[in-house]
Chains A and B, each alone.
Chain A
Amino acid sequence: MMRRLVTALALAASLSGPVFAVQPDEILDDPALEARARELSKGLRCLVCQNENIDDSNAALARDLRLLVRERLVAGDSDEEVIAYLVDRYGEFVLLSPTTGGWNWLLWAAGPLLFVAAAGGGAVYLRGRARADAPTEARLDADEERRLREILDRSDR
């Protein structure tokens, strides 16, 4: 039993060849609908893959999702309705671009917020530098004088 299972799995692995990402038979006849399907697919995650969208993925599940997206579009759903339908079925994990709901606003705002803070900090620093007094150069101590001479001698050679 066990051995047969292993053989079957091995066989399945060797036969499940590179199923293509989007297959010719999936493509819709209406180019406008197909274009929308492609655009939507790029923002949807293949749930069993690692960080791949369903448009690029070779996995069988991705194909199912692609067909599902097209089915909904043919049925007359708007883009938002298709997304809502998929989120409803698979959870927000399916969205490659996370929503802004809940604490997610922090994810979206993190960059701009830090940028504003850093620009402010930078401006304060620059004004400080512009107003600072020119430094009085400290004289080299004896040790530094000697090292300086050493280095200068060396690079002359």
Chain B
Amino acid sequence: MVTELGHFALILAFLVACVQAVVPMIGASRRLPGWMAVAEPAATAQLLLVAGSFAALTHAFIVSDFSLRLVVLNSHSAKPLLYKISGVWGNHEGSMLLWVLILALFGAMAAWFGGNLPPTLRARVLSVQAMVGVAFYAFILWTSNPFLRLETPPFDGQDLNPLLQDPGLAFHPPFLYLGYVGLSICFSFAVAALIEGRVDAAWGRWVRPWTLLSWVMLTIGIALGSWWAYYELGWGGFWFWDPVENASFMPWLLAAALLHSAIVVEKREALKSWTILLAILAFGFSLIGTFIVRSGVLTSVHAFATDPERGVFILAILVIFTGGALTLYAARAGIMQAKGVFGVVSRESALVANNILLAVACFVVFVGTLWPLVAEMAFDRKLSVGAPFFNMAFTPFMVILGLLLPLGSLLGWKRGKVGRAMRQLAPALALAVAVGALFWTMQTGRSLLGPIGMFLGTWLICGAVIDILSKLGQSRDLRRLARLPRADWGRVVAHAGLGVTMAGIAGLMAWQEEDIRAASLNEPFTVGAYEITLLDVQRIQGPNWFADQGEVSVRKADGQGGEIAHLYPQKRTYPVAKMPTTEAAIDYRFLRDIYVVLGDRQQDGGWTMRVYVKPLANWIWGGAFLMALGGALSLSDRRFRVAAGARKAAPAKGVPAE
């Protein structure tokens, strides 16, 4: 019964979205206030209906209703509650329902918080948002219905892929989708502005919070996914340049570019037409990402669906929306005239450089991801484009970006002076060179990766410190730091976070130590500066798995001091899904992780073991967290709260609390 209500609510949401797509758009072009006003209640109604539908599906998973096909395929009665819930979006149909739920959520938020938008712009934004919604509701209802019943329900389910039964991955898709789908609002704003024929500083200010929000969510989502891969897949890799990872990385890069270029629109009324283009492309890349993941066209670990019907449907959505928006852009871009005048050396031009680097980096990832497909179709060559290509082709642009960033963020608006900025940055540069040189002499190999990473990390972090100190002006009164605008804090925290991540990636890739051996019980062996002993291995039983669990003791190799860590790596088997997983045991520390994996039993009674010492591993995600934190700080800045005033003015409309 609940399931049928959910199904029905989804169909109703589709119909409401149809109305919301058409009526306000006509209203806006004919200036009919009543027609335009349809958008807001429609957006709220859409959200309530989809939320009801999603709740119904979640209910079916929680009570393990095995008359539902989706529940049978992706759940099991013995599964812990958290994974019953995350099972809702751990599959194609459910994840698309989550996608439309978030789409409706953003639409409703735009309706609630858009009180200070010109009425026609607001109506058009909500209408475009609803058009995207219509396409995806249709996709779900016609090709991927999650509410299909089975005639003869089985006794129990087939369980969720064990790799997905993990806290990191339980929350990875929702964050990623919040980011992907959040960009739909920027897209709607761009298209509405093109129809409206007007892009001004106010437009830049309206779009920026949405971009920031999406970018923060994407950052968290990507970091969670990468962290999950690190501890779950069993060899501590954190990024594989897998097509599906690239699918989330491309919108991230473009969103980063967009949130910087929107600053120029807001402050200087320049780069308007480029910013509109970026807003269209950012969401376009979200759709490409959805297409890559959902169609399985570039086969990879995450492709749940390999049904061509779905792929073609999403491709059609992609072509219609991106193509349509780009056509509109081509027709209307001419009307956007830049107003701001600025020198070749200025904050504006630094932001242009930022945009060029991020967009080109995104393009490299895009070409690399699609090249196997192109080569096969056009030149009949079956080839692979993997990590070595991306590392080589992508990294240089990030290095240039890192080099320019501290300088750019210290240049003045309109007309900056490189000499002045460099004088301010001299201590940072000196320290960064010293750190880089120190690591160059300390390391044994000849790889430049480590020293360059350390140089960039120091340069970015110290640059951020100098950036925030420079905001104090002449007074040098540190107490004033707390009263600086949140946007300033957001900027420096995010920029420092990028430095931390770069240092972490370089440190991990350059100085990782590894040991693979058949270890006998109670026979210590040395890995790097540590002495590892396998004490015992036992068979243990979990809720829906059993495992061989090792007991490992870690000490300093020089014999000084006591035990550093006691670790329990597992080799799990999920009998229902018939799948083994490795659960690495990791001793997390600030400067290094010790990563221990247990393998198979050897004939002589020993066990295969892999032990890694991973320097600076945590910095990768710590830096990502700082970037997200910086974005959030920026988002909480006062100047984005003009909308808050509008909310207080109109409490009667039933606006929920923040």
Contact = CB atoms under 8 A, between A and B. Distances in A.
Contact of B242 (A51, A127, A155): A51
A39 B96 CA distance: 40
A29 B208 CA distance: 58
Interface in B481-527: 516-518
Interface residues of B, number: 69
Given A95-B383, A118-B356, A17 B573 contact: yes
B174 to A, nearest CB: 24
B363 A129 contact: no
A107 B649 CA distance: 55
Given A97-B386, A122-B356, A126-B352, A27 B516 contact: yes
Interface in A92-135: 92-98, 102-104, 107-108, 110-111, 114-115, 118-119, 122-123, 125-127, 129-130, 132-135
A93 B383 CA distance: 4
A149 to B, nearest CB: 13
Contacts of A95: 383-384
A32 B645 CA distance: 68
A43 to B, nearest CB: 5
A129 B241 contact: no
B359 A20 contact: no
Contact of B608 (A24, A91, A133, A155): A24
Interface in A12-32: 13-14, 17-25, 27
B344 interface: yes
Q: Which of A20, A42, A134 has the most CB of B within 10 A?
A: A20
A147 B117 CA distance: 10
B287 to A, nearest CB: 21
A151 B573 CA distance: 62
Contacts of A51: 240-243, 300-301, 384, 386
Nearest to B581: A18
A50 B242 contact: yes
Given A98-B385, A130-B342, A132-B341, A103 B378 contact: yes
B516 to A, nearest CB: 5
B168 interface: no
A122 B357 CA distance: 11
B339 A135 contact: yes
Contacts of A125: 352
Nearest to A144: B118
A79 interface: no
B642 interface: yes
Interface string B45-80: 000000000000000000000000000000000000
Interface residues of A, number: 56
Contacts of A61: none
A129 B338 contact: yes
Interface in A37-93: 42-43, 45, 50-53, 56, 91-93
A12 B648 CA distance: 65
A157 interface: yes
Q: Most chain-B CB neighbours within 10 Å: which of A52, A56, A111, A133?
A: A111
A154 interface: yes
B389 A96 contact: yes
Interface stretch (B129-137, B320-328, B364-372, B465-473): B364-372
B388 A96 contact: yes
A118 B582 CA distance: 46
Contact of A23 (B243, B581, B608, B646): B608
Contacts of A21: 234-235, 610
Interface string B332-348: 00000011111110001
Given A98-B371, A157-B645, A130 B343 contact: yes
20 contacts: A20-B516, A20-B610, A21-B234, A21-B235, A24-B517, A56-B237, A93-B383, A95-B384, A96-B385, A96-B389, A97-B388, A107-B368, A107-B371, A115-B356, A118-B360, A119-B356, A125-B352, A126-B348, A133-B341, A154-B116
The 4 closest A-B pairs by CB, nearest first: A96-B386, A97-B388, A111-B364, A135-B339
Interface of B: 116, 118, 234-235, 237, 240-243, 270, 299-301, 338-344, 348-349, 352-353, 356-357, 359-361, 363-364, 367-368, 371, 375, 378-379, 381-389, 392-394, 397, 516-518, 571, 573, 575, 578, 580-582, 599-600, 608, 610, 642, 645-646, 648-649
Interface of A: 10, 13-14, 17-25, 27, 42-43, 45, 50-53, 56, 91-98, 102-104, 107-108, 110-111, 114-115, 118-119, 122-123, 125-127, 129-130, 132-135, 147, 151, 154-155, 157
Given A129-B341, A129-B342, 16 more contacts: A20-B610, A51-B241, A51-B301, A92-B381, A93-B383, A94-B384, A97-B385, A104-B375, A107-B371, A107-B385, A115-B360, A118-B360, A122-B353, A130-B343, A132-B341, A151-B642
